[in-house]
Amino acid sequence: MKLFKRFDVVFNLAQPNRVYTNSVAKGASAWGTLSGYLLKIGQMQLLRQQIAHELTASAKYDSKYLFYALKTFNE
C-alpha cells in the first residue's frame, strides 16, 4: 500500500501543464545537439561497414589469384 501512495504523488500532479511544458522545453533544446551526434555516429558506422565489405570482397577476389600465383612459383 505504501508503494501505491508513492506513485499517487507522481501521477497526481497539481499543475501538470506547467511541469510537462518545462520538461518538453528542456528536452527540445538538447534534441538538436543529440540528433547531430547520432547522425554522425550512424554515418561512421555505415562507412565502417562499407569499408569492411570492400576489404572482405577484395581479399576473396585477390586470394584466388595469389594462391594460383604461389602454386605456379612453387612448381
Chain-centroid distance, C-alpha 16:
33
Q: Which residue has the higher pLDDT, 3 or 45?
A: 45
pLDDT of the residue at 5: 54
Q: pTM for the whole thing? A: 0.52
pLDDT on residue 46: 93
Q: What is the pLDDT of residue 68?
A: 79
Report domain extents, the chain: 13-74
More confident residue, 49 or 9: 49
pLDDT in tens, 4-42: 555 555 555 666 677 677 777 777 777 888 888 999 999
DSSP 4-53: HHHHHHHHS-S-HHHHHHHHHHHHHHHHHHHHHHHHHHHHHHHHHHHHHH
